[in-house]
Structure 1
Amino acid sequence: MPAAHRRDTPPPRTGSSETEVLRGFLGYLRESIAAKVEGTPEPQVRTYRTPSGTNLLGLLHHLTAVERATFLGEEVADWQATFDASPADSVAGVVARYRETVARADAVLDGCTGLGAPVPRPRTGEPAPSIRWALAHMIEETGRHAGHADILRELIDGTTGR
């Protein structure tokens, strides 16, 4: 299959504050992984490409759950289950749900006054992490899975680049 090349998008040039840098890189990674999933054909988008059962649509479904847990306080009973989208979920639906979750998470972050403050989330029974920790964690989590997505998408149809 011929490789499709996308134009590589370089990392963002953000403002000079720590908040602007962290949020800029997180936004860049979020868009990178959503773009990798968007337009990927069925059934390849959900075909397991590794012995552990990793698939492209499942990665984005998982990241949606991580964003919801980290910034919106939602409980996750079974993290392993978040790596599989429902058979009824379309690619467009999973991408839209991810983007909607990101918008909700960004709205929470927009209301925060400092990186040392706790994430304002409704979960009770455990202390909320700092905004700084939550942003660093989401950069790590999203970057890790965006790298997986790069490889999976290239295996599916040869598409490379961001």
Structure 2
Amino acid sequence: MPTVSRRNRRGDSPPPRTGSSEFETLRAFLDYLRTSIAAKVEGAPEPQVRTAGVPSGTNLLGLLHHLTFVERATFLGDRVTDWPGTFQAEPADSVADVVARYRATVERANDVLDGCTDLGAPVPRPRPNGPAPSVRWALTHMIEETGRHAGHADILRELIDGATGR
């Protein structure tokens, strides 16, 4: 197990204390979690970033790759037919590639959300699998999904090189 040095300890960023509306609060928490998980993956060393840290096969790079697909399905209407396959990045993909693709997807998702004014309205996206969820449901789901995997990423990154903090 790696030894945690002072240089590998990042200070924790506190959760957002912003948002006078429900919409602003949900968006702020989602963006906070998105930033946290991208930072966990960014700069992680090869090949450990793709090495399974637990018996299920979960790896750090795969978590961010998966979240890219979840963002695209939830906010952009992409259809995903192999969810388990989204947990593995392509061998040719570098850490920088996966992080950049995630950030670009988040930017596109935020463009969609910028046009939303009613949390009860459906997400304005193509509907490949039936009706779109409400904006409230989509934001809440993405907070849960991103938060869950950010916790996994915290543990995996610490196992890889001792880096801690958000």
- TM-score, normalized by length of structure 1? 0.98
Q: Which runs of 4+ in 1 moved over 4 A?
A: none
What residue ranges of structure 1 are gaps of 5+ in the alignment? none
| 1:39 maps to 2:43 | yes
| 1:90 maps to 2:94 | yes
Deviations 1:104-142 (A, max 9, x none): 000000011210010011124501000000000000000
Q: CA deviation at 1:7?
A: 1.2
Query: Which whole-Å CA distance do the structure 1 matches of 2:128 and 2:9 have between them?
Result: 46
Report what 2:57 is aligned to.
53
Q: CA deviation at 1:2?
A: 3.4
Q: CA deviation at 1:86?
A: 0.2
State how 1:1-150 maps to structure 2 within 5 Å: 1-3=2-4, 4-150=8-154
Query: Which whole-Å CA distance do the structure 2 matches of 1:19 and 1:161 have between them?
Result: 27
Query: Which whole-Å CA distance do the structure 2 matches of 1:124 and 1:73 have between them?
Result: 7
Letter in 2 for 1:8: D
- Superposition RMSD in Å: 0.8
Q: Is the 8 A contact 2:18 2:28 kept in 1?
A: yes
Q: Is the 8 A contact 2:68 2:101 kept in 1?
A: yes
Letter in 1 for 2:123: V
Q: Is the 8 A contact 2:78 2:128 kept in 1?
A: no
* Identity value in percent: 78
What residue ranges of structure 2 are gaps of 5+ in the alignment? none
Letter in 2 for 1:62: H
User: Which residue, 143, 159, 164 being the options, matches 1:160?
Assistant: 164
- TM-score, normalized by length of structure 2? 0.96
Q: How many residues align?
A: 162
